[in-house]
Amino acid sequence: MIDYHIHTIFSCDSHLKPEMVCNRAIERDFYEIAFTEHLDLDPQDDGYGYYNYDDITEKISELKSQYNGRLKIKKGVEITYQKEREDEIRRFLNDKDYDFIIGSVHLVNNFDVSHDEGTAEFFKQLDRERAFLSYFEVTFDLVNSGIFDCLGHFEMIRRYALKYIADYSYEEFKKPIDEILETIKKKRIALEVNTSGLRHLPKETYPRMEIVRRFLNLGGKYLTIGSDAHLPEHIGYRIPETMKLLKNMGIEGITLFNKGEKISYKEKDV
C-alpha cells in the first residue's frame, strides 16, 4: 500500500513525529510513503514562514537510512496555490530537490476555504454558483500553471461548504470540472485520490469517485493516493478499501514519483 500525503511536525498544523509515521506505516504493511509538508507563501496564512526545507531534507535523509529495506520514503511538498504567487513559487522551487510537488487550493478570493470560518464567510459574500465557479477557476489555474506534479484534494471545498450550502453534482458544473480534468491529462500531472474526505462531512474521497471515473474516461492516466494525515489514526486512513474501489474501476496501478519521474506501482510488483 501507498500513502502519498502525510504531514508531520514540519507542518504548522500537525503534531505527528516522522518516526512514528514510519513505524505506523510498517505496522500496516505499507510499501511507500511520502512526507508532504505545507508550504504557505501568503503572509496572511497561519503557516507562513514555518516551512524549513533544510531541516525537512535532513530528517528525510535520516529516515531513509533508518528504515532502509523496510519502508520507501519520498520527499514531497504541498504548496498552497495562488495565481498571483506563481513566480514566487517557481523561484522557491528553482534550487530545491523533491520527488514530487502537490499543488492544492486552500485560498479562493483570499478566503481560506480549507477552514470552517473562512468557508462560512466565503459563502456569505458570494452566491452559491459564483462561489463554486470561483473555486473551479482557481483549480484550473493551478493545473494549467505547469508548476505541479499532482493536484491535491480536488473538491475539498465540500468539507465545510456542505454545512452552509447545498452540495453540487458533477452534472451541475460539468463544463468547468471537465476543463480541469482535461488539463490534468494534457499536462500529464497526477490527480490525487485523497481519503480524508471519507472522515469529513462529504463522506467521499476528494474528488468523489464519480469524478475519478470521469477523469479515466477522458483518458487521464496518473493517480496518486493519500490520507492527508495529521493525526496518528489517520495514517493510511481507509486507503486499502479505496484501492479496492479503484481496482474495481479498472485502474491497474497508482503513480509513484522519484525525483519528478513517474513510476507505475502495482501491489503484485512488491
Asked if residues 1 and 29 have their Cβ atoms less than 8 Å apart, the reply is yes
CA distance 133 to 238: 30
How many other C-beta atoms are found inside a 10 Å radius of the C-beta of residue 191? 25
What is the chain's mean pLDDT, rounded?
96
Note the pLDDT of residue 268: 60
Structural domain total, the chain = 1
Q: Dump pLDDT digits (tens) for 135-177.
A: 999 999 999 999 999 999 999 999 999 999 999 999 999 999 9
Domain that holds residue 32: 2-269
Q: Dump pLDDT digits (tens) for 209-256.
A: 999 999 999 999 999 999 999 999 999 999 999 999 999 999 988 999
Helices (H), the chain: 18-27, 53-66, 86-93, 116-125, 128-144, 158-161, 174-187, 209-217, 239-248
Note the pLDDT of residue 252: 82
CATH code at 69? 3.20.20.140
Asked if residues 3 and 236 have their Cβ atoms less than 8 Å apart, the reply is yes
Express as a percent the part of the chain with pLDDT over 90: 96
For residue 118, give the DSSP letter.
H
Q: Would you list the DSSP string of 121-181? A: HHHHHS-HHHHHHHHHHHHHHHHHTS--SEE-STTTTHHHHTTTS----TGGGHHHHHHHH
